[in-house]
Amino acid sequence: MSTEDNVNQAEAVQAETAAPVEPAATVAAAAVAAPEAGSNLAGSFLSLKETNPKLFFGGIGGVVVLLLLVFGLGGSDEKPPLNGPVLKDLAIGQTYTLKSANAYDASATVRLVSTPGAIAAYDDTEEADRNGACQHLAQGTPVTVLEFADAYGKQKSYSKVRIEDGSCKGNEGWALSIDVQ
Q: How confident is the model at residue 100 (pLDDT cuts 50, 70, 90)?
A: confident
Provide φ and ψ at 61, rounded to 5°. Answer: -60, -40
CB 88 within 8 A of CB 181: yes
| In the chain, domain spans | 3-72, 95-179
Instruction: Report pLDDT digits (tens) over 136-156.
Output: 888 899 999 999 988 888 888
Each residue's pLDDT tens digit, 9-58: 655 555 555 555 555 555 555 555 555 665 677 788 788 888 888 888 99
Calculate what percentage of the chain has a pLDDT beyond 70: 66
Q: Which CATH architecture has domain 95-179?
A: Roll (2.30)
d(CA 92, CA 111): 20
Three-class secondary structure assignment of the chain: CCHHHHHHHHHHHHHHHHCCCCHHHHHHHHHHHHHHHHHHHHHHHHHHHHHCHHHHHHHHHHHHHHHHHHHHCCCCCCCCCCCCCCCCCCCCCCEEEECCCCCCCCCCEEECECCCCHHHHCCCCCHHHHCCCCCEEECCCEEEEEEEEEECCEEEEEEEEEECCCCCCCCEEEEEHHHEC
What CA–CA distance (Å, rounded) separates 170 from 164? 6
Give the global pTM. Answer: 0.50
Average pLDDT score over the chain: 77
